[in-house]
Amino acid sequence: MFKINKLLFFITTLQCFIIWAQEKENRTKNFPKQEEKVTTAPNNKKVWVFIMAGQSNMEGRGLVEPQDTISNNRILTINSKNELILAKEPIHFSTPAYRGLDCGMAFANELLKSIPKDVVILLLPTAVGGSPIEKWIKDLPHRNINLYSNFKEKLELGQQYGTIKAILWHQGESNANAAGIANRNQNLKTLFSSFRKEANNEKLPILIGNIGSFSKEPALWAEINKANTTYIREDKYAAIVETADLKHKGDKVHFDGESQRIMGKRFAEKYLNTFAKKGL
């Protein structure tokens, strides 16, 4: 009996490993095979910097397709060494085991249709999956990353290369509970005030992506989105990006690839229509 149980355990473990390997291959099969480093930094007066912050739906869990890895010399990002590279999905790199398609390239490509032809976009990734807003505020580590310190480091890097134009924020799934909902408005005030202080810009636009409508606990997620809307009524430099019609990738938590592309376009449209027209 012991030998049979041991054999069954071995077979189950092997099956789990095979499934994991297949999922990893599917997830990473279209990842870029090499980086394209930028050897000469562009004129910093012509660089618009956008910081991507929040948790997994900003970090990206969608399936990367070949269309997402087409580079453009007007869309830049950084690698894990903070070196400038041509942007390709996936943009984020902090959690290699989970990384996937985020909304960054879709956002930047949509912006390029409307901004001056000599402007370069720099996307700076700071999102970390599963991170509650309290850890951002208190600069606590999450998945071995001190969230606020990491954000501050990337912001300072962005200030060297260009002008910080806006923060793209998508977070809330980890706070979809009684305490998180009750404290949402104050937490957003505290964190966003700190972001703007670091950027030395009290008018810095912050675009808040609502969390999905596909949760296993839809009422709680809806309360997070309701709190987001309440917040922007008092912050004229913040705006909501709607996501209610977007789809998950099968886990009822993360946007699928197509939804990430749509969300990126919506972030761009919201920035252009709400803030760029005002010169922000």
**52 three-class SS:** strand
Sequence-ordered list of residues with C-beta below 8 angstroms from that of 265, at least 6 positions apart, any chain: 106, 107, 110
β-strands 75-78, 84-86 pairing: antiparallel
pLDDT digits (tens, 9 = 90+) for 48-68: 999 999 999 999 999 999 999
Residue 8 sits in the same domain as residue 50: no
Q: Are residues 3 and 131 in the same domain?
A: no
* Together in a domain, 181 and 98: yes
Positions in the chain short of pLDDT 50: 7-22
Are residues 171 and 115 located together in one domain of the fold? yes
79 and 153 together in one domain: yes
Sheet holding 75-78, edge to edge: 84-86, 75-78, 120-125, 47-54, 163-170, 206-209, 238-241
Predicted model pTM: 0.92
- C-alpha span between 218 and 244 (Å, rounded): 11
Residue 190 CA to its chain's centroid (Å)? 20
Residues 115 and 87 in one domain: yes
pLDDT of 175-232, one tens digit each? 999 999 999 999 999 999 999 999 999 999 999 999 999 999 999 999 999 999 999 9
Alpha-carbon distance values, 33 to 66, 76, 89, 225, 237 (Å): 12, 17, 11, 38, 39
Say if strands 141-142 and 84-86 run parallel, antiparallel, or are unpaired. unpaired
**What tokens were used for 101?**
């398609």
Q: Can you tell me which residue has the tokens 């050897």?
A: 39
pLDDT at 118: 97
Together in a domain, 15 and 96: no
Residues 156 and 199 in one domain: yes
Q: Are residues 14 and 152 in the same domain?
A: no
The dihedral of CA 16, 22, 27, 31: what is its sign?
positive
Quote the CA–CA distance of 128 and 110 in Å, as a whole number.
24
pLDDT confidence of residue 267: 98
Residues 258 and 137 both lie in one domain: yes
Q: Are residues 142 and 13 in the same domain?
A: no
* Predicted local confidence at residue 26, as pLDDT: 83
Neighbours of 233 (CB within 10 A): 9
| Same domain for 107 and 45 | yes
Q: Which two tokens stand for residue 198?
A: 């670091």
pLDDT for 6: 52
The amino acid sitting at 153 is E
Could you list the residue range(s) of the whole structural domain that residue 18 is in? 1-30
CA distance 121 to 118: 10
Distance, in Å, from the CA atom of 121 to the CA atom of 236, rounded to the nearest integer, reads 24
CA–CA distance, 89 with 99 (Å, rounded to integer): 10
> How far is the C-alpha of 234 from the C-alpha of 221, rounded, in Å?
21
What is the number of structural domains in the chain? Answer: 2
CATH of the domain at 154: 3.40.50.1110
Asked if residues 205 and 165 have their Cβ atoms less than 8 Å apart, the reply is yes
